[in-house]
Structure 1
């Protein structure tokens, strides 16, 4: 299975340095946190985008995802959300990334959030196809479980919209890995892995040293599924540095994917 990691674990690191870490430690791709202060974001001009794309090609690393912070089910007017998503779709297309990640971020009414998200996603789904990009909604916040995200996807029957399975959030929702995979598999883009000490302490840990059911999650996946390690360093300043863990993380994932 192809492996990636998220630049969330290396905040503000220059792109060449992150690409070198990926190439040197056996990772095939990167999830690119698209936020101010990061090397990849929607404010890049055309020349900067071309330069970034060339760096990926030279390193033989895939720009897997532009990880946006768009809240596709967020209450409020559609126009700002659609404009933000469209900007990220164009960024992904310019970089050659196949995916854009969005969050749900719906309000208290889950049904209304699903309706809002479906309407917005369908507004831009054909544009995503034209750009060669798929929009992946992450299991997160208002649609944390596989069941909740599957309902959103059922309301959005378009091939340019799929699921990003964050295994921590489906676990926090109380779903088993078997149920989460069954619900998400028909529209699954790829899987985010991580590890934590408990539901009360979400400080990131080295893979395999916490409580998340990673082996059970990984064992179900087809051989061509991308696996990406997301290490939430910015939110947990006491967490150990991410870069020194990359070799062991790659070895852990490889051992479980070939078992």
Structure 2
């Protein structure tokens, strides 16, 4: 997957601040109708020569071919009072889904992953039966480009229902107050939900830091969780976040996206 960079940015070791309280959301809508809502996103930017400022009616086409099958990094600025912050977005789109992250440099709120967007799968009738499985491969990423890792997930039938489970690996970096890290772990089995006629799954993530000697060793990866939306008419894709209080506090959390 190639990386598209639209503007220079400050060193990745600086602290970042996200926006006003905005929990991760699965946004069930067409990619070309995505709204860059200023209740969630902060930072004006220019992409493909078009300027964007987040607002309740600002649309940004996540189905743009330049965003597909690549993790695109976009930078901009956000002003509050007399203070101007540098902003970074990273977006990764597939055919049916996209995951969008956004963070500002310079404050305490550290959440990066904002939304998984796309038209969600609406029925379990398209899920695998018997010994068959749907296997998804993709990536885990946040605002630090060099730290992108690998993501794997599978969905299978379990009795009268379905479960999903997976893993992440090769999530790396070197952060102030943390040290050099290499994270891998399991996304524990969890039941597929069809609440509201939209398929999704949330579960516990059991993560391990392989290098040793970092602040992640003891409690930094405790209480990690994952949430995925299932997207496409035939459950072709999954997208969501890897988070939890400690993981977000130290590393800002990670976006997850994959296809089968």
TM-score exceeds 0.5: no
TM-score (norm: length of structure 1): 0.28
Give the number of the structure whose residues are more often helix, by fraction: 1
TM-score (norm: length of structure 2): 0.28
Give the number of the structure whose residues are more often strand, by fraction: 2
